[in-house]
Structure 1
Amino acid sequence: MNMTSFIFYCFIVTFTPGPTNIVILTTVHNSGTKKAMDYTYGATIAFGVLLAISAILNTLLVTVIPRILLVMQIIGSVYMLYLAYQVYNMDTSKPSVNETGSFMSGFLTQFLNPKVLLFTMTVIPTYIMPYYVSMAAVTISVVAITIIGFLAFIAWVLFGAIFKGFLQKYKKIVNILMALFLVYAAIMIWI
């Protein structure tokens, strides 16, 4: 197993902007660090669950993957465009009190996040299963990848917390940029 390639793949996919990271940054910006951490905990647990499901069901999904990917691309793209619309239309004149920063929203959105779904469906069969098949090795791999994902989410929370003053000062511009990033992510699924 090429450990360097595996680590780079995990870090690049989890630390680069994607729907979850953008929602975390937006949540810090609009609702504070505590709400963003609630979302992060939910997103992390779902990330680990998805990795475990991928590890367990990998051989069963091989024949179904093309159809699953198409359905998830459609659902994921529509959901990201919906998130972009919500972020763009966010009322920046008053503080928001909503459930976008909750544990449950963090958990559930991972199941519609095409970046996470594609990653979890490819990382285990590509990097782990060809070299390690024991339950212990696969479990350790799932835990390690989940920790990497959690570190990525925390990095986005810290980024939002550090730059909160700047982000607050330019709320509307930041919301427009975050919405555009989500639209870009939705388009990139099809390219």
Structure 2
Amino acid sequence: MRLLISFAALFLAVVLLQLGSGGVAPLDAISGASLGFSTEQLGLLGSAHFFGFFIGCWWAPRLMGSVGHSRAFAAFTAAGTIGILAHMLIVDPLAWSVMRMASGLCVAGCYTIIEAWLQDKVTNATRARAMGVYRVVDIAGSLGAQLMIGVLEPASYVSYNLLALLCCCAIFPLTLTRSEAPPSMVAARDASCF
């Protein structure tokens, strides 16, 4: 139990990140349809998210190795927040695709960092319990994001702003925790983050 309490900051960051970034995909689909985007353009938004996700998976270990876990988490969260906030500034399917790439980058990067942090702190005896609680927290945050879609107005600045605020709040638990971050490790192939 003591170990799980020590992960409270990580778990809170996961919930906030899921609430913010998890609602973007369904809100984009509903908003895009209400703005007259074609089905191909809506499909492009989903594909762009996973392209950003791919980049995030590649870049996260390199950035984590060069600047540390907390700073890398803050950088990825900032990218996702910017991507969410920009939606109502530029209403264009191609621009939204770039913003969704930022969202995918954020999700992949942040989850890579959180899971690396967890894996560094657990032992073989506590791994299953810690990862089980982590998955429950993650899925609960995802469910909360999906339920929020029912009350968020499509194509609204307020809706996207609320998601961006939640995503941005995910920075606080990890950057302000007293728990020591794992030591920075050089990425396997390349220590350079660019």
Q: Retained in 1: the 8 A contact 2:19–2:144?
A: no
Q: Retained in 1: the 8 A contact 2:18–2:142?
A: no
1:149 equivalent among 124, 134, 159: 134
Deviations 1:41-66, CA, capped at 9 Å, x for gaps? x9xxx9xxxxxxxxxxxxxxxxxxxx
Could you tell me which amino acid in structure 1 is paired with residue 80 of structure 2?
L
Specify the alignment match of 2:75 in structure 1. Answer: 78
Shift in Å, 1:84: 0.9
- 1:33-112 paired onto structure 2 within 5 Å: 70-91=67-88, 98=100, 106-111=107-112
Q: Retained in 2: the 8 A contact 1:87–1:178?
A: yes
Shift in Å, 1:85: 0.6
Closer, same or farther in 2 for the Cα pair 1:24/1:85, shift >3 Å? same
Shift in Å, 1:143: 3.1
With normalisation by structure 1, the TM-score equals 0.51
Specify the alignment match of 1:19 in structure 2. Answer: 17
Q: Retained in 1: the 8 A contact 2:69–2:117?
A: no
For structure 1, which segment, 142-151 or 18-27, has the greater mean C-alpha deviation from structure 2 after superposition? 18-27
With normalisation by structure 2, the TM-score equals 0.50
Shift in Å, 1:179: 2.0
Specify the alignment match of 1:134 in structure 2. Answer: none
Deviations 1:57-96, CA, capped at 9 Å, x for gaps? xxxxxxxxxx959433333222211111101012496886
Shift in Å, 1:8: 3.8
Question: Structure 2: any 5+ residue segments left out of the alignment?
Answer: 31-45, 58-63, 177-194
Deviations 1:169-189, CA, capped at 9 Å, x for gaps? 584213213323333444665
Shift in Å, 1:99: 5.8
Shift in Å, 1:26: 3.1
Closer, same or farther in 2 for the Cα pair 1:190/1:10, shift >3 Å? closer
Specify the alignment match of 1:165 in structure 2. Answer: 150
* 2: CA distance, partners of 1:189 / 1:150: 18
Shift in Å, 1:160: 2.3
* 1: CA distance, partners of 2:171 / 2:4: 25
Closer, same or farther in 2 for the Cα pair 1:184/1:30, shift >3 Å? same
Q: Retained in 2: the 8 A contact 1:88–1:179?
A: yes
Q: Identity, % of aligned pairs?
A: 7
Question: Structure 1: any 5+ residue segments left out of the alignment?
Answer: 47-66, 129-137
Q: Secondary structure at the match of 1:165?
A: coil
* 2: CA distance, partners of 1:154 / 1:10: 16
Specify the alignment match of 1:177 in structure 2. Answer: 162
Specify the alignment match of 2:120 in structure 1. Answer: 121
Q: Secondary structure at the match of 1:158?
A: helix
Alignment root-mean-square deviation, CA: 4.2
* 2: CA distance, partners of 1:160 / 1:18: 9
